[in-house]
Amino acid sequence: MTVTTLPNTDASTGETSAPGSMGAQIADLGRRAKAASRVLANAPTSQKNDALRASAALLVARTDEVLAANAADVAAAESEGVSATVIDRLRLNADRVASMAAGLRQVADLPDPVGEVLDGWVRPNGLRITRVRVPLGVVAIIYENRPNVTSDAAGLCLKSGNAAFLRGSSGAIRSNIVIASILREAIASVGLPADSVILVEDVSREAAVEFMRQRAYVDCLIPRGGPSLIRSILDNATVPYVIDGDGNCHVYVDAEADLAMAVAIIVNAKTQRPSVCNAAETLLVHASVAEAFLPLAAKALEGVELIADPLAAALLPGATPADEAAWSTEFLDLRLAVKIVSGLDEAIDHIATYGSGHSEAIVTRSLATADRFTAEVDAAAVLVNASTRFVDGEEFGFGAEIGISTQKLHARGPMGLRELTCVKFIVRGDGQTRG
């Protein structure tokens, strides 16, 4: 493996991290990202697109180098006895590199959110106020061992005018270093700052904590990872962050559901890709249709372990009895909790108690029931007669997504380019002073 460019060295200046403590070094990387963000904030769309396309081309051209670094990461993971699932996420091949490049080109083709005027008005004193969309500045991403996140996140940040400040996991560090180095070289080749993408190479836990505390430089932190990473953010971060959290998603089959449609939706929501956050985890069924519906559903869900409350279990031979934990578990697997409810109120209460605020679906023909469900269920997305699997940036038409927010501040639901921006008020007057 040959790394020809140190990703944190700016070729134009030869500047490297300041000497000193780990904390000082990470702060210095943050400072450099902030400086780059000032240039990016006003970079023309065409130049940002050129940088994305140059990055795509260079990634493809240097596929062998990426794969060599990745093979070393995979070999290290295998020697450490890491699970096959994790190694599958880590492993790249020429197709996956090509797909990373295609992702960058796709982002280049999306509209630039920066500069959009959201609204504007004139005050009685003549002040003209506009609210315009501007980049956040420095977007920090902390992620686990999928090396494609390095280019995906960097591409979305770049297009939205933000510097990407990245901290991947130790397991993918060799891959990440090479990918970041390629992106930096490509970005610099079109005249934008190489520091538009900065990867923290220190993979210690202490460095991760320090990374979460760069309040002087980081405008937004987005974690891409599991519960232990989220816990660490809650406990340690002082920078503003958006949590991409769990999806404990429900499908509620109402008394007035089209049962064939309900079967198709629960099968899709549970089985089309069970390992993702918008897959369904609990099926709620109105008591009046349970007897008709559950045997149909069970047949269509063959191969899925059903974990049922006593009423449902009576209609589902072979079901596992549900305990309290079943209702709050995100199985991410071919397992589905099933509960019979007395009606809409109980369904809504159950979702309020156990749901994670991600995606909740109802199947019904009743307008009044659909309206109550959409109004009263508190989640990022509420679906009527459609699979929860549609709740993502691509399916919503955002073109790409950096994550799915399950918090309510700033962004809720799928986050595309628009969610990587903030607003600025511009106030124009002709000498107004306040009386």
Note whether 433 binds a copy of itself by CB under 8 A: yes
Choosing from 27, 347, 381, 400, the residue that interacts with a copy of itself (CB under 8 A) is 381
- 352, 250 Cβ separation under 8 angstroms: no
Output 317 or 431, the one with its CB closest to a copy of itself.
431
Minimal distance in Å, beta carbon 418 to a copy of itself?
10
Q: Give kind and range of the element (H or E) at residue 143.
A: strand 138-143
- 256, 226 Cβ separation under 8 angstroms: no
Choosing from 42, 46, 204, 342, the residue that interacts with a copy of itself (CB under 8 A) is 42
Note whether 24 binds a copy of itself by CB under 8 A: no
Choosing from 251, 383, 402, 415, the residue that interacts with a copy of itself (CB under 8 A) is 383
Q: Give kind and range of the element (H or E) at residue 82.
A: none
- 269, 280 Cβ separation under 8 angstroms: yes
Collapse the DSSP code of 93 into the 3-class scheme (helix H, G, I; strand E, B; otherwise coil) and give the result.
coil
Output 109 or 378, the one with its CB closest to a copy of itself.
378
> Using CA atoms, how far apart are residues 26 and 22, in angstroms rounded to an integer?
6
Cα separations in angstroms, 206 against 21, 22, 174, 213, 238: 12, 9, 19, 11, 15
CA torsion 201-416-162-208 (nearest 10°) is -30
Output 135 or 147, the one with its CB closest to a copy of itself.
135
Note whether 400 binds a copy of itself by CB under 8 A: no
Note whether 413 binds a copy of itself by CB under 8 A: yes
Interactions with a copy of itself, residue window 270-309 (CB under 8 A): 272
Q: Give kind and range of the element (H or E) at residue 138.
A: strand 138-143
Interactions with a copy of itself, residue window 90-109 (CB under 8 A): none
Choosing from 65, 73, 144, 219, the residue that interacts with a copy of itself (CB under 8 A) is 219
Output 7 or 137, the one with its CB closest to a copy of itself.
137
Place of tokens 């180095």: 181
- 263, 382 Cβ separation under 8 angstroms: no
Note whether 375 binds a copy of itself by CB under 8 A: yes
| CA-closest candidate to residue 230, choices 357, 331, 144, 353 | 144
Place of tokens 């918008």: 278
Choosing from 63, 148, 248, 268, the residue that interacts with a copy of itself (CB under 8 A) is 268
Residue 71: both structure tokens together:
């093979």
Per-residue binding string, a copy of itself, 137-176, x by CB under 8 A, is x---------------------------------------
Is the dihedral angle over the CA atoms 259, 265, 269, 273 positive or is it negative?
Answer: positive
Minimal distance in Å, beta carbon 5 to a copy of itself?
28
Choosing from 24, 38, 93, 226, the residue that interacts with a copy of itself (CB under 8 A) is 38
* Chain contacts with a copy of itself (rule: CB under 8 A): 38, 41-42, 121, 123, 127, 129, 134, 136-137, 215, 219-220, 234-235, 238, 240-243, 258, 261, 264-265, 267-269, 272, 352, 370, 374-376, 378-387, 389-391, 395-397, 407-410, 412-414, 422-434
